Structure 1
Amino acid sequence: MEGNEVRKALQDNHINLAWLAEEWGITPQALSARLNVKMFKRGYLIEITQILGKDIFGIGIKTEQQPVLNISANSTASLNAGNYPVIEYVSVPYFSGCVGIHYLRYDAEPRYMFGDTIFLQEATNVMPGQIYLFFTGSDWFIRRALLTDKSGTYNLVALNSYYPDYEVKKKDILQMYKIVGTISREQT
């Protein structure tokens, strides 16, 4: 693909070139120089595609972005971008199909620290010993789930020993999400 074709694709998709240069970590002059070349490097196309989160050049790169939701208010709504404001998007292939939240509690430390971005997938069944984010009618929290009896009561064990464990009947769990992974941000 030629540089002028790349420039046209960017303009057709209303991509601000100054913004793109800043996101790419180069100067606007460096971007202009790259767009003036006869043969635009495929690696540059891939980098731009990753920045944009979509393939406007038809190079066959699939990108998926995961929303990070603001769930600061206690709610019973399903975790998706239609129910909660999106704070930001990330693109981590391992978290494909997940939603993220900033976990602003201490009950899951030291495994999940205050401020970590935790990526979740909705779960329908509890696997004993796994860690989940649970929503009940009165609260939401991260706990390790242990089945206590055949009637469907779970012992939800806090990861931080300073916080209480809960016994919760399956019918009282409104939603549960398996924790797929986390991104920790350096605290300053």
Structure 2
Amino acid sequence: MHNLVPAIGEVNGDRSNYKFGVISGEPRAYGHCDVEIDFKERVVEPRPEVRGQIARTYFYIHDRYNLSMSKQQQQLFMAWHKQFPVTPWELERSRRIAQVTGVNNPFVTGEQSWKIGHKNSGSGLSVQLAQSNKSKHSESDPRYQEVRGNRNSKVFHLSVGCPSYDRVSPKNRVSFTSEAEAVDAGYRKAGNCR
């Protein structure tokens, strides 16, 4: 969720996967939308107010998913990070995302900083791999089901056969590896499960 932001479709489409940079001459093609795109050089220059946010988002994504970043982009993003510091809203946004995902952007909170030659953590890959293995396991084993508890009601629901499984509020969700684990934790099975 840290890399999801609203965008104008035309600008986002034209931006493609071009590298970020500074474009001289300020050619305006999008009216009041302060973004420039040099199609020949394949470079995008976002408006100043979002440059720091973009830098920290790219730091996060590259670190978490072990992606390589050119030295030129690293230098640009480090400059943008310094020139356009974290705003109170950016901190709040990271906090809210962390409430949902359990992960904040450490480049926003200041827990991590980026330097040339940054050693990526790749921490998102282990989570992704675990979820992928879980999905494969549940597809190959019809007996496997996810168990979701509601910490308020102390009721648990199964991913298959329990119509209220997806209705448990994210803030009240507790995950269990089995029905037995849920029962041992003091939860009871929902009465509407088939």
* Greater percentage in strand: 1
| TM-score range relative to shorter protein | under 0.3
Structure that is richer in helix per residue: 2
TM-score by length of 2: 0.25
* TM superposition score normalised by structure 1: 0.26
